[in-house]
A and B are shown apart, each in its own frame.
Chain A
Amino acid sequence: MTARGSGLAMTESSTRSSLANRRHVLDLDDFTRGEIEEVLQNTEVMKEVLSRDIRKVPTLRGKTIYTLFYEASTRTRASFEQAGKVMSADVINVSAGGSSVEKGESLYDTALTLQAMNADMIIIRHAHPGAPYFLARNLDAPIVNAGDGAHAHPTQALLDMYTMQSHLGRIEGLKVAIVGDILYSRVVRSNLWGLTKMGADVTLCGPPTLMPPDFLKGFPEEHPFAGITIENSVDAAVGGADVVMALRLQVERQRAGHLPSLREYSRMYGVSARRMKLAKPNALVMHPGPMNEGVEIDADVAHGAASVIEEQVTNGVAVRMSLLYSLVDSNGGGT
């Protein structure tokens, strides 16, 4: 709190934000553990706001947030939109279809247009890895990466970590098994940065054709991912796990020759009730969505008692509120 705002500037209310110097959220690789902890702590408070009868707080009154989506999305875009609206920001959605993008406008020009309309934040999803970084380098507005190709999806990783922490009380020391298409998953890459910084014990499992070649080689000792385990057998990966995260298998991968058949994939790598018996008794089942039930995860597991998949969606709104709270400039003023 500011010295002027209350007489408490030197008491315990002086909990200065470790996110004070952060402008963008591009991936979790440049987040400190303290920053992640602060996002998760504020998320807890935002959950309370979402549980109220009247889900509206005035924090971002008069602020404009643009979502710029070049790829299809239901939950991520709706989640950002709801987060902004609960905090009283105006949220304007721009998607590639039906916008000047169809007329051939470049990413840079589109984003520049949004900035000229006084965007207080631009949230971008793009098929090309690095697109959010390009905007962050060239624009003044804060940029949030809502998924760039197979590279990163930091807000998903934050909501995954929040969900683990809220159920299991901690992240440090948890055994997290991530199963499926590791090669094309931006969710995995952001989760690896976040989970390793928070001290989780991560095991990745998937068909060798869907595992990044450098992951298979193993990481040098000084690499942040050096502690990650790569496992061929799902039974071994899931054994004793606190969290089992299934990843979406894009059905196109089979046509591209990565897999012999979806049925075989499901049998060998699907998260089933039988496999979940190998995990810890209170283990959580997670999935970033959208799910292919019967492929990477069985329907009875996806909707079973251990599943927190729907809760991940609710938590996603709270995590994004937490980021908006910390990153969108407030101009003072007001009353």
Chain B
Amino acid sequence: MTESSSNVVRETPQTSGRQVLDREQMRRALIRIAHEILEGNVREPDIVIVGIHSGGIHLAERTANLIAEFEGTKPPVGQLDIGLYRDDLSRRGRPVMRPTSIPVPIEGRPVVLIDDVLYTGRTVRAAMDALNDFGRPSRVQLAVLIDRGHRELPIRADYVGRNIPTSLDEEVRVNLLETSDEDEVLLLRKRA
């Protein structure tokens, strides 16, 4: 099933935001992340790339394709929905779930989690719990396109595309060509 089914309500932004990353900058940020992932895993190159729904899914695929370009082999790519592991849901209205698939055993292998924006760290904590239910990786690393600060947990990313200082009343919106008509990162001010 796809997200285009009629039960999916999508929030549309009320304002247009300031562009903090354009298509070319995003491309270069991902190339750098892919190189850094390779350098960071020289000793254990059998990495598994796992994207966190939904912002990390396409970035994980792109990163794996870049690694394939540089190295000739594409690492396995998985996807993780953390809905069953969250600690921060409002009382009711749990989000529609998306499929989780980990295509290879991750026991004893290095895993690189990928998400678009690192914020409070709660999503990443939940993702690590979810990952653990599939086995015990030798290492878990985190790659994000944007680190916007405001951590609420002791979590940091190993690979960061761009650090963007934000205030709490701002939103970071990542548009990707897979789901919209541009590759860009926007900083939006939330409407009160």
Contact = CB atoms under 8 A, between A and B. Distances in A.
Contacts of B43: none
In the A-B complex, the 8 residue pairs with the smallest Cβ-Cβ separation, listed nearest first, are A20-B93, A334-B87, A7-B117, A34-B7, A7-B119, A45-B97, A57-B84, A14-B11
A87 B84 contact: yes
B177 interface: no
23 contacts: A2-B89, A3-B171, A4-B88, A5-B88, A6-B55, A6-B117, A6-B123, A7-B118, A9-B11, A10-B171, A11-B174, A12-B3, A15-B95, A17-B7, A19-B93, A21-B92, A21-B93, A34-B5, A48-B99, A48-B100, A57-B84, A330-B86, A335-B122
A287 B97 CA distance: 28
Nearest to A9: B171
A33 B87 CA distance: 29
B120 A8 contact: no
Contacts of B85: 57-59
Contacts of B98: 15, 45
A330 B133 CA distance: 21
Contact of B93 (A16, A45, A333): A16
B81 A45 contact: yes
B96 A41 contact: yes
Given A6-B120, A48-B100, A57-B133, 15 more contacts: A2-B90, A6-B55, A12-B179, A14-B9, A15-B98, A17-B93, A21-B93, A41-B1, A41-B96, A42-B96, A45-B98, A58-B85, A332-B88, A332-B90, A334-B87
Nearest to A32: B7
A9 B125 CA distance: 18
Interface string B136-174: 000000000010100001000000000000000001111
Interface of A: 1-21, 33-35, 37-38, 40-42, 44-45, 48-49, 52, 54, 56-59, 87, 325-327, 329-335
Given A13-B53, A15-B96, A8 B117 contact: yes
Given A5-B88, A7-B146, A330 B9 contact: no
B113 to A, nearest CB: 13
A235 B2 CA distance: 37
A7 B172 contact: yes
Contacts of A18: 7, 9
A35 B85 CA distance: 22
Q: Range of interface residues on chain B?
A: 35 or more
B10 A5 contact: no
Given A6-B122, A58-B84, A37 B116 contact: no
B118 to A, nearest CB: 7
B75 interface: no
B183 to A, nearest CB: 13
A12 B95 contact: no
Contacts of B101: 48
- Interface-central residue, B8, B83, B116, B171, by most chain A CB under 10 Å: B8
A34 B91 CA distance: 21
B100 A45 contact: yes
Contacts of B172: 7
Contact of A7 (B93, B94, B116, B133): B116
B125 to A, nearest CB: 6
B100 A37 contact: no
A41 B11 contact: no
A116 to B, nearest CB: 21
Nearest to A331: B91
A263 to B, nearest CB: 45
Contacts of A20: 92-93
Contacts of B73: none
B117 to A, nearest CB: 3
B96 A44 contact: no
Nearest to B98: A45
Given A10-B188, A11-B55, A330-B89, A58 B129 contact: yes
Contact of A332 (B10, B87, B96, B148): B87
